[in-house]
Amino acid sequence: MEQPPTLNTTNLMPITTRPSLIMARGKGSYLWDSDGKRYLDLVQGWAVNCLGHCPDVMIKALNDQATTLINPSPAFHNERYLELATKLARLSGLDHTFFANSGAEANEGAIKLARKWGRLHRDGAFEIITTHNAFHGRTLATMAASGKPGWDAIFPPFMPGFTKVDFGDLAAVKAAISDRTCAVMVEPIQGEAGVIVPPDGYLRGLRELTQAHGILLIADEVQTGVARTGKMFGHQWEDARPDIMTLGKGLGGGVPLSALMARAEVSCFAPGDQGGTFNGNPLMTAVGSAVVDTVSQPAFLAAINARGGQLQSRLQEIGARFGFSEIRGRGLLIAVTLDTPKAETVRDVALSRGLLVNAPRPNTLRFMPALNITESEIDDAMTLLGDVLGAVGA
Ligand SMILES: *Cc1c(COP(=O)(O)O)cnc(C)c1O
């Protein structure tokens, strides 16, 4: 009999560096590798697994839907995506949803929608004001919308139509608005940049500014949405409802699901403008519905804020011993700045000791645990982190 192939990486495109271990199993806040070693996971698939690994509500939704209908074809309605669209509209006040499969795809759709709106309603205006260090995805248009240094030079020609300003600077946005501007696009908190929280009033100010100039506000809530910051959507902290919003990451709780949402008056796609083979498929949207039902409960949201407060105060204690210059974030999207650029070493030593944390910058650690992480799991994680920092001498 033919032997099954041994596991190796020779047939993969080398798009990143990964440790050689292989993850095999997960439950709640824990992951196990193929050697049976356990990890307390404060990364959760990059703020994706909002209910932790393999939660019962997702298993049930997947099982029920998988035995009922997986793919009727995008040419037909299905019950699950209709249900989820209704729930998201009720929760956000944004009337229309287009379901997609990744954050980048949702943002690509937001850019298309804003450009079409500009063509129809603002004399062909197509420019979108975005921010330095923003992250909106890895398609050609979302890379151009992003503000990652160096990204303009990798895949020329760089897509035009994006004007960059500093994040958090309202006056800079105001100065950048011209007749060609159709929208301003921001993350309510910059996630990949290292959990950069804008000054109080920024989102509210952007809402007022865009309204006064008759242009659109696009909130990229791929990371901040679906309760990550302790409210259902990050913009709700400032009551700054956007015209267009994108969701991703936590929306599927770990399965690929994203959403492009818009006010009805802005929702100007005509048949044929937008689509996609897998979009709105019932297997993913059944899971999205289960996730949204769970995280939108007031008691669930209150617990996120309680655990976020606990995590921040434990980080403060550790910071007093090891010197963090800053602890920032909202809900369970939190980062610290270390006094030394040792974040990657801390991440690697933590991994070897069974703790998963993320190092988005050389001096930044980021924490995005399951939204249902328990008090004792946070305590355990912080004890481990203290040991790791002691060992690293950070
Ligand atoms: C992760 C992320 C994206 C990209 O999502 P993908 O699913 O990786 O395409 C876009 N915007 C923000 C704010 C993100 O955090």
Euclidean distance between CA atoms 357 and 369, whole angstroms: 9
Q: Which residues contact 62 (CB under 8 A, 6 or more apart)?
A: 255, 283, 286, 287
Supply the residues annotated as catalytic: 135, 220, 249
Tokens in use for 56? 């019962």
Residue 386, H or E segment: helix 375-392
Cis peptide before 157 (omega within 30 of 0): yes
Largest CA distance in the chain: 72
For the cut 90, the answer to whether the pLDDT of residue 4 exceeds it is no
Euclidean distance between CA atoms 286 and 275, whole angstroms: 19
pLDDT tens digit string along 70-128?
Answer: 999 999 999 999 999 999 999 999 999 999 999 999 999 999 999 999 999 999 999 99
CB 275 within 8 A of CB 70: no
CB 369 within 8 A of CB 336: no
Residue 229 in contact with ligand 1 by CB distance below 6 A: no
- Which of 190, 222, 226, 258 has the most ligand 1 atoms within 8 A of CB, as the residue to mutate? 222
Q: What angle do CA 129, 133, 137 make, to 5 degrees?
A: 80
Residue bearing the CA closest to ligand 1, atom 11: 136
* Positive or negative: CA dihedral 146, 152, 156, 161: positive
The single residue listed with the structure tokens 């083979």 is 277
Residue 250 in contact with ligand 1 by CB distance below 6 A: no
- CA of residue 188 relative to chain centroid, distance: 11
Residue bearing the CA closest to ligand 1, atom 6: 103
Residue bearing the CA closest to ligand 1, atom 5: 103
Query: Ligand 1 centre and the CA of 392: distance in Å?
Result: 31
Q: At 325, is the pLDDT very low, low, confident or very high (cuts 50, 70, 90)?
A: confident
For the cut 70, the answer to whether the pLDDT of residue 205 exceeds it is yes
CB 35 within 8 A of CB 21: yes
Query: Ligand 1 centre and the CA of 71: distance in Å?
Result: 25
Q: Give me the pLDDT at residue 1, please.
A: 61
Compute the average pLDDT of residues 351-358: 98
**Concatenated DSSP letters of 207-259:** HHHHHHHT-EEEEE-TTTTTTTTSSSSGGGGGT---SEEEE-GGGGBTBS-EE
Q: Give me the pLDDT at residue 251, please.
A: 98
Compute the average pLDDT of residues 275-289: 97
Compute the average pLDDT of residues 373-377: 98
Residue 129 in contact with ligand 1 by CB distance below 6 A: no
For the cut 80, the answer to whether the pLDDT of residue 50 exceeds it is yes
Tokens in use for 13? 């495109």
Quote the mean pLDDT of the chain: 97
CB 53 within 8 A of CB 31: yes
Euclidean distance between CA atoms 168 and 191, whole angstroms: 14
Euclidean distance between CA atoms 58 and 52, whole angstroms: 10
Euclidean distance between CA atoms 233 and 239, whole angstroms: 10
